[in-house]
Amino acid sequence: MRSFNQKLAIVTGGGSGMGRELVLQLAAQGCSVATCDINDDSVAKTTAMALADAPSGVRVTGHVCDVSDEAQVLRFRDEVVRQHECHHVDLVFNNAGIAGGGSFVTDPRATWERTFGVDWWGVYFCTRAFLPLLIESDDSILVNTSSINGFWASLGPGIPHTAYSTAKFAVKGFSEALIEDLRLNAPQVKVAVVMPGHIGTDIVTNSQRIHDDVDPTTLSVDDLEARRADLLRAGLLVEGSSSDDIRRVIVETRSAFNEFGNDFRDNAPLSAAGAAQIILAGVRDGKWRILVGDDATRLDEQVRAEPDAAYDYAGVGDEMGESIRGDVSL
């Protein structure tokens, strides 16, 4: 696809970070866009920003949709067809994603499954919903965002990263497996997998808010007891702590997380805008494999060169951890 002019794109998770930048850059290049997010305010802001800079004739619509809920995805698809009066779409960016559920052992099961639900099932449901509309186009592309954690299931020593990595491996495997399936059964549709390294976005704080935005002062006795078990398992509380201790630890953990989220955004080697440019250039050039950032390229080379050493954290693994993680974790 040499140009996005006069095409129609779907972008999930368009309310922030790379999703917002994809919407802005596509619209500025003459592409109409339907974008969704779980956060209504942020997707409305993206839509207004995109329309402010788009050439005339470009339509940008914002939709509220939780991509991990198939009924909401189907409603989003129906809204797109109605509002854009279309019988096909040209590009689908499965971009929405969250972090969390790092430890399979100590993190709450609900957190693990919420992360996996957005990062894998979100991609799956959106592909199920929109593939028939991609097939109706003469020349279309499905762009699935995985991660460097789609080929390296770690952030280095001391930081378990299981739910996210499992989902991102699934997204990468699904995308690669679709190459031959589409070649045989729907050759007008291409597929690309995007693997960003560390990109400066609000993913850490956005994810924290999605997993847990309850005001600790409003928690019931039952909720506090459930939190006690989680915090004990995570080693953040000692036996015999009071309800006030639990509330205090929740507030302290959140504020540490926010600080670490700001570092993650502010100390990244590549901005969300720079990442979106690389993704769109890759799509235009017909790449099926889009590494985003020098850190991602380096890591990919290292894992391929020394796969057995990937999780040793000495040599290859150590260097990979340092280059991606810095002193924050996703």
Ligand X SMILES: NC(=O)c1ccc[n+]([C@@H]2O[C@H](COP(=O)([O-])OP(=O)(O)OC[C@H]3O[C@@H](n4cnc5c(N)ncnc54)[C@H](O)[C@@H]3O)[C@@H](O)[C@H]2O)c1
- What residues are labeled active site? 164
Asked if residue 31 binds ligand X (CB under 6 A), the reply is no
The smaller minimum CB distance to ligand X, of residues 244 and 301, is found at 301
User: Which string of x and - marks every residue 128-147 that binds ligand X (by CB under 6 A)?
Assistant: -----------------x-x
Among 15, 100, 101, 261, binds ligand X (CB under 6 A): 15
**Residues 70-109 within binding reach of ligand X (CB under 6 A):** 95-98
**Residue of 9, 18, 186 whose CA lies nearest to 84:** 9
- Other beta carbons within 10 Å of 261: 22
What is the C-alpha separation between 146 and 160, in angstroms, rounded?
A: 18
What is the C-alpha separation between 253 and 38, in angstroms, rounded?
A: 24
What letters, b where the CB count within 10 A reaches 16 and e where it falls short, cover 57-95? ebbbbbbbbbbbbbebbebbbebbeeebebebbbbbbbb
Applying CB under 6 A, which part among 75-83, 127-135, 192-200, 242-250 lies near ligand X?
192-200
Size of the site for ligand X (CB under 6 A): 34
**Residues 234-273 within binding reach of ligand X (CB under 6 A):** 272
Asked if residue 203 binds ligand X (CB under 6 A), the reply is yes
Among 68, 154, 175, 329, binds ligand X (CB under 6 A): 68
Asked if residue 201 binds ligand X (CB under 6 A), the reply is yes
Question: In angstroms, what CA-CA distances link 44 with 41, 237, 328?
Answer: 5, 40, 30
What is the C-alpha separation between 29 and 27, in angstroms, rounded?
A: 5
Structure tokens at 170: 């699934």
* Residue 4 near residue 27, CB atoms below 8 Å: no
Among 210, 249, 291, 303, binds ligand X (CB under 6 A): 210
Instruction: Give CA 179 to chain center in angstroms.
Output: 21
The smaller minimum CB distance to ligand X, of residues 24 and 65, is found at 65
Asked if residue 155 binds ligand X (CB under 6 A), the reply is no
Asked if residue 39 binds ligand X (CB under 6 A), the reply is yes
What are the residues binding ligand X (CB under 6 A)? 12-13, 15-19, 36-39, 42, 65-68, 95-98, 118, 122, 145, 147, 196, 198-199, 201-203, 206, 210, 272, 330
